[in-house]
Amino acid sequence: MKRKLATLTLAGALLTTTGLTANTSTIFAGTNGPNGPNYNGNETIQNERLHSYEEMSDLLHKLDQKSEALQLEVYGQSVKDRDLYLAKFGMNEDNPTILFLTQQHGNETLTTEGALKLIKYLTNNSKEVKHIIENVNILVAPRLNVDGAEGDVNFSLDDYVSGTHTRYNANGVDLNRDHVDREQPETKALHENVLQKYSPDYMIDLHHQGTQTTLGDTGELVSGSILYPTNAEVDEEVREQSKKLGAVVYNAVDSKGYGLLSKYPGGDAQTISRNGLAAEYGISTLLFEMRGMADHYREDYVLGQKSNGYLIQQAVVAMKATLEALADDSLESTDASFWDTLPESNYSGE
**pLDDT tens readout for residues 281-299:** 999 999 999 999 988 999 8
**pLDDT tens readout for residues 56-79:** 999 999 999 999 999 999 999 999
If DSSP codes are grouped into helix, strand and coil, which group holds residue 138?
strand
Instruction: Measure Cα distances from 321 to 156, 205, 249, 326, 336 in Å.
Output: 40, 15, 7, 9, 15
Handedness of CA 219, 41, 160, 152 (dihedral sign): negative
> Closest Cα to residue 259, out of 227, 220, 223, 293?
223
Among candidate residues 113, 150, 220, 289, the one labeled active-site is 289
**pLDDT tens readout for residues 31-56:** 444 334 433 433 444 545 679 999 99
Per-residue pLDDT at 350:
63
pLDDT confidence band for 25 (50 / 70 / 90): very low
> Residue 180 in contact with residue 278, Cβ under 8 Å?
no
> How far, rounded to the nearest angstrom, does the alpha carbon of residue 279 sit from its chain's CA centroid?
21
**pLDDT tens readout for residues 72-110:** 999 999 999 999 999 999 999 999 999 999 999 999 999
**pLDDT tens readout for residues 114-167:** 999 999 999 999 999 999 999 999 999 999 999 999 999 999 999 998 888 999
- Please classify residue 282 by burial: count the beta carbons closer than 10 Å to its beta carbon, then call 0-12 exposed, 13-18 middle and 19+ buried: middle
> Closest Cα to residue 159, out of 346, 9, 269, 306?
9
If DSSP codes are grouped into helix, strand and coil, which group holds residue 324?
helix
Per-residue pLDDT at 304:
74
Q: Is 233 a catalytic residue?
A: no
> Residue 174 in contact with residue 267, Cβ under 8 Å?
no
Handedness of CA 75, 233, 224, 264 (dihedral sign): positive
pLDDT confidence band for 349 (50 / 70 / 90): confident
